[in-house]
Amino acid sequence: MFKLFRNIDKSKIVKTAEILINNNINAFEVSYNSHDAIKQIKLLKEHYPNAKIGAGTILNIEDLKKITSETELDFIFTPSINEEVLKYSKKNNINLIPGVFRSEEHTSELQ
């Protein structure tokens, strides 16, 4: 199980994560379009180095390069399939979970 953090106040994210970890939820996605997303990811990694921390709502290659250069992520989520993001993730060993609506979308991008 994992928990999505979107627009959580930076002062509350560590305590919220602690409560979740104490209840066996140790994977967290911080939505990249949240205010202070990079700071939130860094806080979570600092306080909970064994938790799996990822970023979501990665829309393009620029977002991906920025967040991976400034944070240590275990995975990223995308709300769609972006070929540049897929190629960059593969080349740089970034665990990518692309969002798709139909299975055909996923298989067409794998070819």
Q: Collect all residues with Cβ–Cβ distance below 8 Å to 110 and sequence separation of at least 6.
A: none
Only one residue has tokens 């938790």, namely: 51
Radius of gyration of the chain (CA): 14
Neighbours of 17 (CB within 10 A): 23
Tell me the pLDDT band of 111, cut-offs 50, 70 and 90.
Answer: very low
Tell me the pLDDT band of 3, cut-offs 50, 70 and 90.
Answer: confident
Q: Which residues in 29-59 are b (16+ Cβ under 10 Å) and which e?
A: bbbbebeebbebbbbbbeebeebebbbbbbe
Tell me the pLDDT band of 107, cut-offs 50, 70 and 90.
Answer: very low
Contact 84, 109 (CB under 8 A): no
pLDDT in tens, 47-95: 999 999 999 999 999 999 999 999 999 999 998 888 899 999 999 999 9
